[in-house]
Structure 1
């Protein structure tokens, strides 16, 4: 039986009211199994980043439930939610969010330091080894390339051995070579370490590294790709949806 690391049930995210009401997520139900890599795609305003932020407990949905590692987020108090995000969720963003005055090793251990834990040096080096940067442990961000900085960010996300890693456009600020390094790294986390990865991306080539691609539009999951995923297949499916005749309006479930 496949374990679902993250489950979203009837997720709604509504902002504003009246004429300014915006439904960013409209009754989204899906799950992300352990040891899988899912890419979330869609046009600007489709709700993909909102989905990621709600799933990760960074934003609170208007309605619906998020369950991570068997725990419903709406059952948790603020302190419990903070601990869950710190201990069981890893984050990788487009901006590397490294502290410029700290070395790579110090940036990796920062989440545990903030939690008043001192990780063993071997754990920090193991995280850096996972991303191929043990030889750069003593370097500060200014001494690292963009791709190396993002790899440090990935190592930082892994130091707590999280249940899931959420990545929001992790290659958006990188050149093609560095992007491929990061995507191969995320793929290896799934294949070699059975990590669960959920990545928002606009790039079909990045999505091709995933086991599954979810396509969002108007806050809903409108399509799903599994098996035989290539950049060409993803791009073609997106193009099909963009050129398809508009259907009848669907009443919001939120």
Structure 2
């Protein structure tokens, strides 16, 4: 089954997105009429205090959870009109994921983990494409290694290669550097940045780390399920991480 999207300048868009958990006096509003677009070929970081709606935004934008009201579009496709089977197909074909915990299959080699999305989609992976994906993340010589034989940073690079192998509309990265040391974090962020600059990939990253967010073209700050602030400008310029940290500190004091 293939979903054909309509043309769109945005990779992902949310309009009036509202997500409420629970009912009555116990109801919690995680997203509050949020309207936000992630343009194609851009790198966006999403930040905010605990409970601001960051994780809910990612889950709803990726079709892992349904909105209470409003709309989500991925590659021009309205997720609200899809049943669970078609949502699964869309996620498999049009969305890549990078998680803090890597989520590699322990029994598979690096190459087998990278080709897994293609196999799940019923496509025969081209060995050359898998090799190229691993080479692009600097792991051409680790193709036959299993996750236990790789460092944390190497495992996350395999996860990035796996997310990019299908050339998805968007890659959602959830705290991708949260389990890594400084050097490995820098490598992973550099790869995500290179995917945007070199391949026009769209990346949306949830992070609490101002240094990680400084790699993004735009930082969106959430509070109480709404956009509280935004920061554009050039990525990785001197002082950007400190500027982001300052905005986060003011947001947490409100």
TM-score tier (shorter): over 0.9
Q: Corresponding residue for 2:232?
A: 226
Q: 1:3 aligns with which of 2, 6, 9?
A: 9
Q: Secondary structure at the match of 1:58?
A: coil
Q: Corresponding residue for 2:19?
A: 13
1:128 pairs with 2:134: yes
Aligned-pair CA distance for 1:160:
1.0
Aligned-pair CA distance for 1:132:
1.3
Q: Deviations over 1:138-191 (max 9, x none)?
A: 100011000000000011111111010000000001111101100011000001
Q: Deviations over 1:2-37 (max 9, x none)?
A: 811111000011001122110011011010111100
Q: What pairs with 1:190-201 in structure 2 (closer than 5 Å)?
A: 190-201=196-207
Matched-pair contact (CA < 8 Å) for 2:49–2:252: no
Aligned-pair CA distance for 1:114:
1.9
Aligned-pair CA distance for 1:101:
0.9
Q: 1:57 aligns with which of 49, 60, 63?
A: 63
Q: Corresponding residue for 2:171?
A: 165
How many residue pairs align between the two structures? 244
Q: Deviations over 1:196-215 (max 9, x none)?
A: 00000000010000000000
How many angstroms apart in 2 are the aligned matches of 1:183 and 1:54? 24
1:145 pairs with 2:155: no
Aligned-pair CA distance for 1:238:
1.4
Q: Corresponding residue for 1:45?
A: 51
Gaps of 5+ in 1: 245-254
Matched-pair contact (CA < 8 Å) for 2:44–2:203: yes
Aligned-pair CA distance for 1:228:
4.8
How many angstroms apart in 2 are the aligned matches of 1:185 and 1:176? 14
- TM-score normalised by the chain length of structure 2: 0.93
How many angstroms apart in 2 are the aligned matches of 1:9 and 1:160? 27
Q: Corresponding residue for 2:3?
A: none
Gaps of 5+ in 2: 1-7
How many angstroms apart in 1 are the aligned matches of 2:227 and 2:111? 39
Q: What pairs with 1:56-95 in structure 2 (closer than 5 Å)?
A: 56-95=62-101
Q: Corresponding residue for 1:250?
A: none
Q: Deviations over 1:53-102 (max 9, x none)?
A: 10000111111101111110112222221111001100001111111111
- TM-score normalised by the chain length of structure 1: 0.93
Q: Secondary structure at the match of 1:92?
A: strand
Q: Corresponding residue for 1:251?
A: none
